[in-house]
Amino acid sequence: MKKKKIAPKILWVLSVLTLIFLWAPVVLIIVYSFSNNKYGSSWEGFTTKWYVKLFTNDQVRDALMRSLIIAGVTVVVSTIIGTITAYGLYKLNFRGKQFLRTSILLPIVFPSVVTGSALLVFFTRFMHIPLGYPSIIIAHIVFCSPLAVFIILGRMQRFDWSWEEAALDLGATPFRTFIRVTGPQLLPAIMASAMLIFPWSFDDFVITYFVAGVGSTTLPIYVFSQLRFGATPVINTIGTLFVTITMLGLVLVHFIQKSGKSGT
Amino acid sequence: MQTSDDILASQAQARKREKRRLALDITAYLSPIILIVVVFVFAPLAIILFFALLKSGPYGVIVYELTFENIMAVFGGGYGKVFMKSVYLAFQTNFLCILFGYPIAYYVARFGGRFKVLWIFLIIVPSWSSYLIRLYALKTLVGTKGTINTLLLNLGLISEPIQILYTNFAVTMALVFAWLPFMILPIYAALDGLDRSVLEAAADLGANPFRRFFRVTLPLTRGGLLAGSILVFIPTVGEWLVPHIFGGSKIMMAGSLVAHKFTAVGNIPQGSSLAMMLAATLVLILYLIIKWGGREALERSL
């Protein structure tokens, strides 16, 4: 009998160690963000002055605003494109569909440096799109909408389509059916994909760094530019905010999906 | 007969109408994504392929003259080695992620009980938090003036800081740290969906726990392992930030070469040929994955 009980315990210890490995650095910067130490790398008593400094730092505020605007536009556009594309891919059968699906996967599976450099050369040497907001937002839509497509497509495969058939049988036009029946039912999936895309766009560093040009510092680019100075208290506070926002977002997604499940 | 001809004709007409309808639907639903894929994925790739074939003059000037010298240079000694190293590091990372990821996935799936959601939450949060911030956090921990060194120095266990940064160990650790959650989740999903009765049957038939695991559980969770490996292996090959932050100038990966040529040197033809090489490597790997594990594995991993 004793043998049966020891395996879960060993597994528990290994699991806790894994979690510590994943969380220790993150917890550390959260702790240090409240530390009085001016290098942000050891504990010297509690303070919130770095947060005050964070919100009065013009560079950080500009970068934050820029990141929020970019992520906001990206989420809206990518989610709309993702929804109609997923619907089309789910409903329609045609030659070349597999090829299209694989092509949509490309921006997700290609290394960011390849996507970033290809877009940079394309924007500067061919399209002459100004680097800054236009180039960053286009780049973000390019790698975020495929993600939206596959998140929503995944949900559609577990979806009850009989309501839509009923609406069509009863004479509703396809457009009306989508607006009144299918759309509202898909709303939890659409919301979830929007919530998941937001951090993708907001956090992206590599592709943004390539196509941002000079003077369009997003928050991750600001963090990167500060990295060479080692730890700084302000980056610790930014990190803390990032992790907190992610947690809140995931809790929100969890509840959206729960309500979506109980609603249908 | 006239009637059958009529039927045939109307059938043909119906088919035609259906075809037109389908074309219309495809345009309506899929034109935005087709536009994105063609204009912002295929065209840029074609352009860098073109630039990869150009000659690079001094000071980042592009000489419009077709040549294979940049493409050939990729295969030459230094660059080729870096590519091999990237693939090797990706394999290593993948293996370590399975090694560390499987136990926790197994524990949560089997013994998580009412804390399951909390465990999953704690695994997912790092995978969705800012990648850059997490790497920065790890650097804070292991740097020369980092927490570990400070702690050990204060305890008197070491007399001078241990050099962790800019070693192979640091790069490997950071890669595992960054990608481990992406391995745990698919394995967990596969284990969670496992039909327990199969294991009971194996036990009833006299298989010991060891055999049950290797002959039943592991093969049945192959899909999860494959999905996790796709999520870990592919991004690791093209990694830039990890070698940049943890390897410095000492340890380079394929992604760092591309980034270096574009952002530091500004040599577009060379950078393009390296990027093409990286893309080609990835396409080859993806092809092998699809051939071996099926397309579903690739899409399921999302």
Any idea where the domains of chain B sit in the sequence? 2-52, 70-300
At a CB cut-off of 8 Å and minimum separation 6, what does A70 contact? A133, A136, A137, A140, A201, A202, A208, A218
Mean pLDDT of A67-81: 95
The interface predicted TM-score (ipTM) is 0.85
For A101-136, what is each residue's pLDDT tens digit?
888 988 888 889 999 999 999 998 888 888 889 999
Q: Is residue A232 a part of any domain in this protein?
A: yes
Rounded CA separation A181/A164 (Å): 6
B165 contacts: CB under 8 Å, gap ≥ 6: B139, B142, B143, B144, B246, B248
Taking 80 as the threshold, does the pLDDT of residue A173 lie above it? yes
Cβ contact A41–B275 (<8 Å)? no
**Per-residue confidence (pLDDT) for residue B301, from 0 to 100:** 56
Rounded average pLDDT over B141-145:
80
Half-sphere exposure of A165 (CA within 13 A, CB side): 5
**Domain assignment present for A175:** yes
Structural domain total, chain A: 1
In a domain, A27, yes or no: no
| Residue A139 in this model has a pLDDT that exceeds 80 | yes
Select from A76, A103, A109, A135 the residue whose CB has the most chain B CBs within 10 Å, as the one to mutate to test that interface: A109
Q: Chain B: nearest CA to A70, how far in angstroms?
A: 16
Query: What pLDDT score was predicted for residue A2?
Result: 44
Report the share of chain A in percent with pLDDT over 70.
95
Q: Which CATH class is domain B70-300?
A: mainly alpha
Amino acid at A54: L
Q: What average pLDDT score do residues B220-245 get?
A: 88
Give Cα B137 distance to the centre of its chain: 22
Pairing mode, if any, of strands B62-66 and B54-56?
A: antiparallel
Of how many residues is chain B composed?
Answer: 302
Residue A263's pLDDT is 42
Nearest CB among B37, B103, B275 relative to A117 is that of: B275
What is the extent of the structural domain holding A140? 49-263
Compare all CA atoms of chain B with the CA of A80 and give the residue at the minimum distance: B32
CB contact under 8 A, B128 and A199: yes
Residue A236 located in a structural domain: yes
Confidence band of A68 (pLDDT split at 50, 70, 90) = very high
Cβ contacts of B278 on chain A, cutoff 8 Å = 111, 113-114
The pTM for the full model equals 0.87
- Asked if residue A107 is part of any domain, the answer here is yes
The residue type at A174: P
Q: Is the pLDDT of residue A3 over 60?
A: no
Mean pLDDT of B27-52: 90
DSSP secondary-structure letter at B59? G
Amino acid of residue B270: Q
Q: Helices (H) and strands (E) in chain A — how many of each?
A: 12, 0
Arithmetic mean of pLDDT, A8-34: 91
Q: Say yes or no to pLDDT of B46 above 80.
A: yes
Residue A241 to residues A73, A160, A200, B147, B181, Cα–Cα distance (Å): 21, 38, 15, 21, 20
Give yes or no for residue A203 having a pLDDT over 70: yes
Backbone dihedral angles phi then psi of residue A119, each to the nearest 5 degrees:
-65, -40
Rounded CA-CA distance B272/B267 in Å is 8
Residue A26 has its nearest CB partner, among B26, B134, B143, at B134
What's the pLDDT at A1? 42
How do residues B249-298 score in pLDDT, each as one tens digit?
788 888 888 898 888 888 888 889 999 989 888 888 878 877 776 666 55
Q: Please say if the pLDDT value at position A88 is more than 80.
A: yes
What integer best gives the mean pLDDT of chain B?
A: 85
Let me know if residue A6 belongs to a domain: no
Residue to substitute from B83, B120, B130, interface A, most A β-carbons within 10 A: B130
Structure token pair of residue B276: 């093409």
pLDDT tens for B154-208 read 888 888 888 888 888 899 999 999 999 999 999 998 898 888 888 888 888 888 8
SS3 A157: coil
* Mean pLDDT computed over every residue of chain A: 86
| Residue A3 domain-assigned (yes or no) | no
- Mutation target vs A (from B133, B148, B289; most A CBs, 10 A cutoff): B133
d(CA B44, CA A114): 10
Report the DSSP beta bridge partners of residue A144: none
The more confidently predicted of residues A158 and A57 is: A57
- Domain for residue A2, yes or no? no
The CATH number assigned to the domain holding A243 equals: 1.10.3720.10
Q: Do B122 and A23 touch (CB under 8 A)?
A: yes
User: Environment class of residue A39 by beta-carbon count within 10 Å: exposed (0-12), middle (13-18) or buried (19+)?
Assistant: middle
Phi and psi at residue A35, to the nearest 5°: -95, 150
